[in-house]
């Protein structure tokens, strides 16, 4: 089963990583604290038992068995002996002193610290206690212990507190992960937004950064700004080159056309006149190709976004239908326009792109067919469409048709330079949109999908 896209995103992975790491860190800290508290409680109990045992053994060595029995009675009668447990018995297992009746059968006569559950005399239930047992030189046995029920209660309360803290740590870790993710994604989104605005034509824009920060984001911003500066310089050079090229090439072509026209007026030779007409036609075609190619280059370089204006596109397509109507009727087409939408676009380029698409439809459409111009708008896009009833373009060759000078033979053998669709695609990209070629069943449907800009 395919994992949903949002679960595979870097943002989700970063969020989960931060959340899990915080939970692991919090849980580890709580467990460490619980371990430290437990160790301290056990160490305190062992110290109490060891001190009492050592005192009793030392007294035995000085006072003998009678002195030991007296000291045990004295210690158990004191106020500090509330949790003490002592048993002194003879080699036959008879109790000599203490508050435990019988020697526990599971405890060796000489053993180190261990935790057991025993009854003390006068108690109606067993109690957990830590004990130390030893065998004295005369064969008697000494067991010294300390009730640790309070310690266990503290451990239990500590465990409950840790569980409550862990439950509290979950939303805190979640909040921390959200904050960390928003901080990181916020910085990334600011860089991405700068890149989007730069790509939309704001070539003077730079990613804000603080050089003194010296972190990865600052280095990334500096690198992107360096790239932006280089692109801005290249686009400026391209603008100068294209403007110069347009002027340098248009001027001789215009002079050529004027010369041809004068020659046509001055000659009566039909053969020469036909040749001059052909030269004039080719000169005009070359001039149109040059103009379109330069428009494409400038659009693809992002030049022209400063000329976006609020435009009545519905009126634009109606004007196109009125201009091309007589020619379409002469060629046997029915030309219709539908839609009443306003949008912020480059009026001249969009109009030129639509005119090229209408011209293509008349070149390649079915002569008695219909050419439909339409415009629709949603909350996010404005869609301009030109549909015809011609042979269409096979899906496998549509990408080829969108390239500059892309002519599809023999299906597209009519005259033309193959720049109409390329210009429409460049205009769509200039607006941050896209062009799609679809089957009109029959015919071709060319759709320019432009994002809605600020009106």
Give per-residue pLDDT as tens, 302-313: 667 777 888 888
DSSP letter, residue 206: -
As a whole number, mean pLDDT of residues 20-37 equals 88
Distance CA 372, CA 366 (A): 13
Question: Does residue 314 sit in the same domain as residue 422?
Answer: yes
Decide if 172 is inside a domain: no
Residue with tokens 């429409």: 424
Decide if 209 is inside a domain: no
Q: In the structure, what pLDDT confidence band is assigned to residue 58 with cuts at 50, 70 and 90? A: very high
Closest C-alpha to 38, from 115, 114, 152: 152
Domain boundary among 137, 153, 169: 153
Residue 420: which CATH number?
3.30.565.10
Distance CA 64, CA 340 (A): 116
pLDDT surpassing 70 at residue 246: no
Do 142 and 53 meet the contact criterion of CB atoms below 8 Å apart?
A: yes
Instruction: Name the E strands within 55-118.
Output: 84-89, 95-98, 111-118
Range of the domain at 243: 216-300
pLDDT surpassing 70 at residue 3: no
What's the confidence (pLDDT) of residue 14? 83
Prediction pTM value? 0.52
Q: In the structure, what pLDDT confidence band is assigned to residue 405 with cuts at 50, 70 and 90? A: low
Question: Does residue 374 sit in the same domain as residue 327?
Answer: yes
Question: Does residue 252 sit in the same domain as residue 390?
Answer: no
Pairing label, strands 95-98, 111-118: unpaired
Do 453 and 381 meet the contact criterion of CB atoms below 8 Å apart?
A: no
DSSP letter, residue 177: H
As a whole number, mean pLDDT of residues 290-309 equals 70
What's the confidence (pLDDT) of residue 411? 45
Question: Does residue 265 sit in the same domain as residue 341?
Answer: no
Residue 421: how many CB atoms within 10 A of its CB? Answer: 23
Helix then strand then coil, % of the chain, to nearest 5: 60, 15, 25
Question: Does residue 358 sit in the same domain as residue 436?
Answer: yes
Question: Does residue 284 sit in the same domain as residue 367?
Answer: no
Dump pLDDT digits (tens) for 154-200.
888 888 888 888 888 888 888 888 888 888 888 888 888 888 877 76
Question: Does residue 144 sit in the same domain as residue 13?
Answer: yes
Q: 3-class DSSP state for residue 339? A: coil
pLDDT surpassing 50 at residue 300: yes
pLDDT surpassing 80 at residue 241: no
As a whole number, mean pLDDT of residues 329-358 equals 86
Q: 3-class DSSP state for residue 147? A: strand
Domain boundary among 153, 177, 194: 153
Decide if 167 is inside a domain: no
Distance CA 453, CA 431 (A): 9
Question: Does residue 293 sit in the same domain as residue 338?
Answer: no
| Mean pLDDT over each residue of the chain, to the nearest integer | 82
What's the confidence (pLDDT) of residue 12? 83
Q: How far is CA 267 from the centre of its chain?
A: 72
Decide if 160 is inside a domain: no
Cis peptide before 442 (omega within 30 of 0): yes
Dump pLDDT digits (tens) for 419-434.
778 888 888 888 888 8
Residue with tokens 């294209």: 242
Decide if 179 is inside a domain: no
How many domains does one find in the chain?
Answer: 3
pLDDT surpassing 50 at residue 455: no
Q: In the structure, what pLDDT confidence band is assigned to residue 366 with cuts at 50, 70 and 90? A: confident
Structure tokens at 130: 């830590």
Decide if 108 is inside a domain: yes
Of residues 330 and 256, more confidently modeled: 330
Q: In the structure, what pLDDT confidence band is assigned to residue 89 with cuts at 50, 70 and 90? A: very high
The lowest-confidence range among 57-61, 229-233, 256-260, 354-358 is: 256-260
Instruction: Please write down the HEC assignment for all residues of 257-288.
Output: HHHHHHHHHHCCCHHHHHHHHHHHHHHHHHHH
Q: 3-class DSSP state for residue 365? A: coil
Domain boundary among 300, 318, 348: 300
pLDDT surpassing 90 at residue 281: no
Decide if 193 is inside a domain: no
Separate counts of helices (H) and strands (E) for the chain: 9, 12
Of residues 90 and 272, more confidently modeled: 90
pLDDT surpassing 80 at residue 70: yes
- What are the φ/ψ torsions at residue 313 (nearest 5 degrees)? -70, -30
Decide if 339 is inside a domain: yes
Residue 128: which CATH number?
3.30.450.20
Residue 157, Cβ density class (10 Å: 0-12 exposed, 13-18 middle, ≥19 buried): exposed
What's the confidence (pLDDT) of residue 370? 87
Dump pLDDT digits (tens) for 117-130.
999 988 889 999 99
What's the confidence (pLDDT) of residue 79? 60
């Amino acid at each position: 089963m395919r994992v949903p896209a949002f679960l595979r995103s870097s943002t989700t992975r970063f969020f989960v990583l931060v959340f899990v790491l915080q939970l692991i860190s919090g849980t580890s800290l709580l467990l460490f604290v619980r371990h430290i508290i437990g160790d301290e409680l056990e160490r305190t109990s062992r110290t109490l038992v060891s001190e009492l045992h050592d005192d009793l053994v030392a007294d035995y060595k000085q006072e003998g068995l009678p002195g030991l029995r007296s000291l045990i009675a004295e210690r158990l009668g004191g106020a500090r002996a509330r949790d003490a447990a002592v048993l002194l018995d003879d080699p036959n297992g008879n109790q000599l002193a203490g508050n435990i009746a019988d020697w526990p059968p599971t405890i060796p006569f000489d053993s180190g610290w261990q935790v057991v559950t025993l009854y003390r005399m006068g108690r109606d239930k067993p109690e957990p206690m830590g004990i130390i047992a030893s065998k004295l030189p005369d064969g008697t046995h000494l067991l010294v212990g300390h009730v640790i029920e309070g310690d266990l209660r503290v451990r239990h309360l500590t465990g409950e507190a840790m569980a409550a803290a862990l439950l509290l740590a979950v939303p805190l870790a979640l909040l921390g992960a959200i904050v960390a993710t928003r901080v990181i994604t916020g910085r990334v989104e600011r860089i991405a937004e700068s890149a989007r605005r730069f790509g939309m034509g704001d070539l003077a824009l730079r990613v804000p950064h603080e050089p003194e920060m010296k972190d990865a984001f600052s280095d990334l911003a500096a690198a992107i700004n360096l790239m932006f500066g280089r692109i801005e310089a290249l686009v400026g050079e391209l603008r100068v080159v294209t403007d110069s090229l347009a002027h340098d090439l248009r001027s001789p072509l215009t002079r050529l056309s004027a010369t041809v026209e004068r020659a046509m007026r001055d000659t009566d030779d039909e053969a020469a006149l036909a040749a001059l007409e052909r030269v004039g036609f080719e000169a005009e075609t070359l001039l149109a190709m040059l103009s379109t190619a330069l428009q494409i280059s400038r659009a693809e370089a992002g030049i022209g976004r400063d000329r976006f204006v609020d435009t009545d596109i519905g009126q634009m397509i109606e004007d196109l239908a009125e201009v091309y109507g007589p020619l379409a009727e002469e060629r046997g087409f029915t030309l219709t326009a539908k839609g009443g939408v306003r949008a912020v676009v480059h009026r001249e380029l969009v109009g030129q792109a639509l005119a090229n698409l209408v011209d293509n439809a008349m070149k390649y459409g079915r002569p008695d067919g219909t050419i439909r111009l339409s415009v629709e708008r949603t909350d996010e896009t404005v869609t301009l469409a030109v549909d015809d009833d011609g042979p269409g373009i096979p899906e496998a060759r549509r990408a080829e048709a969108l390239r500059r000078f892309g002519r599809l033979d023999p299906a597209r053998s009519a005259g033309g330079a193959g720049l109409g669709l390329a210009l429409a695609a460049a205009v769509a990209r200039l607006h941050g949109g896209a062009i799609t070629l679809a089957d009109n069943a029959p015919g071709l449907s060319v759709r320019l999908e432009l994002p809605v800009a600020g009106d």
